A and B are shown apart, each in its own frame.
Chain A
Amino acid sequence: MDNLIEELLPFYALGALTDEERELVEDYLGEHPEVRAQIKEMEFAASALPYSAPPVKPSDRLKKTLMERIAADQRARSSVPVKDSLPRPAKPQNRFMGILQFSFGALSLVVAVMAIALLYGLNRQVSQLQGEVAALKSALVAQANRVEQLNQAFDEVNANLPQATPSALTVFAINGTEVQPDAHGQLMTDPNSHSAVLVVAGLPPLQAGMTYQIWLIEGDTPKSAGLLNVDDYGQGVSILTPDQAFSSFDALGISIEPEEGSLLPTGDIVMLGQFN
């Protein structure tokens, strides 16, 4: 037997191969069915492993939810319209009329079945579309809320930048690094001021216990500019108010840190933007 296949077999039985490795084994088994006996022996041992876990009694609620879902599925399946029995055709007067009536009857049946199938298909499409419309409405509401939040954030920054004239406002691009190439954002500020608004998108929500942290970098020295929360759409807005004017910094970076934040960057830098 091929050495690699021999090495892979125990992990195949344990269900711990990568997709590519599993395909390799299955192709080999297709060509060498005699190897299946070995696999069966290993699978026999692997199939016993679930019994080594202590059983856990599920709550009644879980069973109730499952059975309700199944009952709904049964109802949905049984709601497919069923055609009533067709009226018995009159006795044919002659062979030709019989064939004609049979053909007509068969044609009617086919048309009726097609109509029912079409009706059922349309019903399903309508249900599907209703579901999609509901989902879109929900997404629209979420987006409207997000727009409202962004407007509030801009209002806030405007209040914090009373001295900035429109011509003094500068926008810096903040781009995703190779860690998060899809991320993008902008930092809007008067470089001589101590306030800016950072808007980013394309940052995936992090697992529990982790957060994004913003750094303003002067030379080689990063200074924390606060934590950045992103929503389910990967968007985040933060108002920065450093002690120094923005013109004294060279760059802005965003890294992944433990949820309480860090004194210096410890995780991957996911976004970076130069001010020059």
Chain B
Amino acid sequence: MRIKSKSDFPDSSDGSVHEELSDETLVAQVARGDSSALEALYNRYSSTVLGISVRISGDQLIAEEVLQETFWRVWRHAVTYQPQLGSFTAWLFRIARNLVVDLHRKQNSRLQTIRYDGRDALDIDQTPDPNADVPEQVQSSFKQQKVRMALATLPEEQRQVIEMAYFFGMTRQEIAEATGEALGTIHTRARLGLQKLRRELEKQDFEE
């Protein structure tokens, strides 16, 4: 697949000129009130944000609400983003993840220890998005492959603890209770799991 270069964009009025700008440049433009920069970030990451939200909540409506609220917060709080503290995607995904975990917790006073089996529970539209940022979609696809491969190398019990904490927002005590393991075991699994995941991601040249 050919990735567009700057010369492919003779006119910036359609917003596609943003495709070659870095996330950090775009978020700086958003901070100055440029809504087309926000639209570019939306085109770039909305599928991933909705994917996380669907994965965590298992509810299309909640996930869509989270998607809109996440980018609304980017719009309103872009000025608070500090590149030196981490990548834009880390910031963006953290906003989405925290929103969906909070919403999910409010709706389910006791989180279910649902295990993800790799299948999509919802009817998900997989047709290509004509508005999507194509180069970023390709990059995202590579990243997904790398992360899935790295996760697959983790022992099942370590992967389980990491996924319960991240995707279901479960505290270490809740994980210990749900798995019937001692709290100390859960601590060890989380630590070893994250260490191994980092090593595997580095091996595959994963970049945030």
Contact = CB atoms under 8 A, between A and B. Distances in A.
B36 to A, nearest CB: 10
B201 interface: yes
A49 B147 contact: yes
A41 B86 CA distance: 12
Contacts of B127: 57
Contacts of B125: 56-57, 59
Contacts of A21: 171
A80 B198 CA distance: 49
Interface in B81-98: 86-87, 89-90, 93-94, 96-98
Given A41-B198, A58-B46, A58-B47, A49 B35 contact: no
B165 A14 contact: yes
B50 interface: yes
B144 A49 contact: no
Nearest to A73: B75
Contact of A57 (B108, B129, B143): B129
Interface string B53-95: 0110000000110011001100110000000001101100110
B169 A52 contact: no
A11 B198 CA distance: 15
B75 A56 contact: no
A65 B68 contact: yes
Interface string B20-53: 0000000000000101001100100011111110
Contacts of B150: 48
Contacts of B144: 51-52, 54-55
Contacts of A17: 171
B151 A52 contact: yes
B208 to A, nearest CB: 5
Contacts of B87: 47
Contacts of B163: 49
Contacts, number: 164
A14 to B, nearest CB: 4
A23 B163 CA distance: 23
Interface string B148-161: 10110000000000
Nearest to B60: A56
Q: Which of A42, A50, A55 has the most CB of B within 10 A?
A: A50
Contacts of B103: none
Interface string A62-82: 110111011101100100000
A58 B64 contact: yes
A20 to B, nearest CB: 11
A6 to B, nearest CB: 8
A11 B124 contact: no
B72 A11 contact: no
Q: Which of A47, A56, A65 has the most CB of B within 10 A?
A: A56
Contacts of A245: none
25 contacts: A9-B191, A10-B187, A10-B191, A15-B98, A16-B171, A18-B171, A44-B201, A45-B195, A45-B198, A49-B167, A50-B52, A51-B140, A52-B148, A52-B151, A53-B48, A56-B54, A57-B50, A57-B129, A59-B64, A62-B67, A63-B42, A63-B131, A69-B72, A73-B76, A74-B33
Interface of B: 33, 35, 38-39, 42, 46-52, 54-55, 63-64, 67-68, 71-72, 75-76, 86-87, 89-90, 93-94, 96-98, 101, 107-108, 120, 122, 124-129, 131-132, 140, 143-144, 146-148, 150-151, 162-163, 165-167, 169-172, 187, 190-191, 193-195, 197-198, 201, 206, 208
Pairs A-B, 3 closest by C-beta atoms: A16-B165, A53-B55, A10-B190
